[in-house]
């Protein structure tokens, strides 16, 4: 197979489930001849306070204990992989500032970065007045009618960290995420089927990935704890997996159902639940909203004009003068009553090991992460209790990017003892 030019980066891990995979050493391993970042993040003794699940929202205040933690600022850039994987986002960049604390039981990270817009929406529903159908915004850029511009992706901002589990992945220790990054697969970008995949290089090699999806963080104060393995080394096989979870609705599920248009046999997709008053401030429905006494009401019927009938016998008519455009696409965005495309619920089991808080400053994000130095999941979580230096990398998704992430690899976590 063709030798790769220096593709800086699919390297990182946070490519979402449709793109995040690893490759074997014998197929298109990314060339790292240009070297790695090698920046050091120093974790110092101290305890931070995070708001727990169901606690009040973090107001963005940075505790004075963080003044003792040295700042590391790195420049994260969306790279040009040469195969259109990151098309439309290449060159997007932001500075990321990180600090770390640890105590006898936990490690904490404070991460800050700027971005032009706050993205929490995940494929929201809107009403199309021309087709009289409900549809969902895409998680990828969609070409507009003029064929030269794109409607932006509707995808949540994200931040991820990746660690080597028990030094099981030698290529990660020496090459960071480059060592498990490969250049070609059938997963691709906007204009090309070419793409990139990630997986470790053999059985017994595992990486720990902490994935802070802002929609999840601002609603239930958790980041997603996942791992990446070899999976047999199949080129197109996705090898990112959730840690053990105890519920089939763990983390949430799609707010989508298929109903027959009233009086016909034609089925169409519509939201499963809505909040009749609208105003989804955090971009999601909580699963708890659907329980008895919750604010969400189930959609039970749709007619040929798009009017939704709800289980409480009320209707939502998106065509009226009163409704205006509140259920429709407005410019590059959506009206205020457009319906979230997903439910959010807490992660369970070891998938829920990472507590997270996030605050939008108006110009970017502040993110707090907390995890036990040593969890009960010895197989799929990095053990930090020895306070041994750990190589790691980060990925940042912002301004409507999903898999088209900015990355920084080759960093090292040092513990000040």
Place of tokens 């990630």: 198
Question: 3-state SS string over 342-407?
Answer: EEECCCCHHHHCEEEEEEECCCEEEEEEEEECCCCCCCCCCCCCCCCCEEEEEEEECCCCCCCCEE
Give per-residue pLDDT as tens, 138-192. Answer: 877 787 777 777 787 888 999 999 999 999 998 888 777 766 665 555 554 444 4
Average pLDDT over residues 278-291: 84
Q: Which residues pair with 212 in a beta bridge?
A: 159
Give per-residue pLDDT as tens, 37-96. Answer: 568 999 999 999 999 988 889 999 999 999 999 999 999 988 776 666 677 777 888 999
Backbone region of residue 167 per phi and psi (left: phi > 0; alpha: psi in -120 to 50; beta: other values): left
List, in order of start, the domains of the chain with CATH numbers: 40-118+156-246+349-415 (2.60.40.1190), 127-136+252-344 (no CATH)
For the stretch 254-291, what's the b/e string if a residue is b when 16 or more beta carbons lie within 10 angstroms of its beta carbon? ebbbebebeeeeeebebbbbbbeeeebeebbbbbbbbe
- For 183, other C-beta atoms within 10 Å of its C-beta total 25
* pLDDT score of 37: 55
CA 355/CA 298 separation, integer angstroms: 31
Whether residue 365 is predicted with pLDDT greater than 90 in this model: the reply is yes
Average pLDDT over residues 17-27: 34
CA 266/CA 261 separation, integer angstroms: 6
Pairing type for strands 181-182 and 158-164 reads: unpaired
- What lies within 8 Å, CB to CB, of 345 at 6+ separation is 220, 247, 249, 250, 251, 252, 286, 287, 288
Q: How confident is the model at residue 317 (pLDDT cuts 50, 70, 90)?
A: very high
Q: How confident is the model at residue 274 (pLDDT cuts 50, 70, 90)?
A: very high
Contact, 325 vs 319, CB < 8 A?
Answer: no
């Amino acid at each position: 197979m063709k030798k790769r030019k220096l593709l800086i980066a699919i390297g990182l891990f946070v490519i979402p489930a449709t793109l995040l995979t690893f490759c074997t050493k014998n197929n298109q391993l990314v060339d790292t001849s240009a070297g790695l970042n090698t920046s050091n993040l120093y974790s110092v003794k101290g305890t931070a306070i995070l708001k727990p699940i169901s606690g009040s929202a973090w107001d963005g205040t940075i505790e004075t204990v963080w003044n003792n933690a040295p700042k590391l600022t790195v420049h994260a850039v969306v790279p040009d992989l040469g195969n259109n994987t990151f098309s439309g986002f290449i060159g997007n960049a932001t500075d990321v500032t990180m600090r770390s604390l640890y105590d006898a039981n936990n490690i904490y990270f404070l991460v800050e970065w700027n971005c032009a817009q706050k993205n929490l929406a995940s494929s929201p529903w809107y009403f199309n007045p021309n087709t009289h159908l409900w549809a969902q915004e895409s998680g990828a850029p969609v070409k507009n009618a003029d064929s030269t511009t794109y409607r932006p992706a509707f995808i949540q901002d994200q931040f991820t960290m990746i660690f080597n589990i028990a030094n099981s992945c030698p290529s990660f220790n020496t090459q960071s995420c480059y060592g498990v990054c490969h250049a070609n697969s059938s997963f691709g970008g906007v204009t090309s089927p070419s793409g990139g995949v990630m997986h470790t290089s053999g059985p017994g090699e595992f990486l720990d990935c902490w994935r802070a999806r802002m929609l999840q963080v601002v609603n239930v104060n958790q980041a997603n704890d996942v791992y990446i393995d070899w999976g047999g080394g199949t080129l197109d096989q996705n090898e990112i997996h959730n840690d053990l979870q105890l519920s089939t609705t763990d983390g949430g599920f799609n707010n989508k159902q298929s109903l027959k248009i009233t009086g016909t046999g034609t089925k169409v997709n519509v939201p499963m639940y809505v909040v009749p008053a609208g105003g989804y401030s955090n971009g999601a429905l909580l699963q708890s909203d659907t329980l008895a006494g919750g604010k969400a009401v189930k959609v039970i019927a749709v007619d040929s004009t798009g009017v939704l009938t709800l289980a409480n016998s009320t209707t939502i008519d998106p065509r009226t003068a009163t409704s205006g455009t509140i259920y429709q696409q407005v410019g590059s965005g959506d009206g205020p009553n457009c319906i979230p495309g997903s439910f959010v619920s807490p992660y369970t089991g070891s998938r829920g090991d990472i507590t997270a808080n996030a605050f939008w400053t108006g110009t970017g994000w502040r993110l707090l992460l907390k995890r036990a130095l040593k969890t009960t999941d010895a197989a799929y979580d990095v053990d930090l209790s020895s306070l041994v230096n750990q190589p790691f990398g980060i990925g940042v998704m912002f301004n409507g990017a999903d898999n088209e992430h900015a990355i920084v690899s080759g960093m090292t976590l040092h513990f000040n003892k």
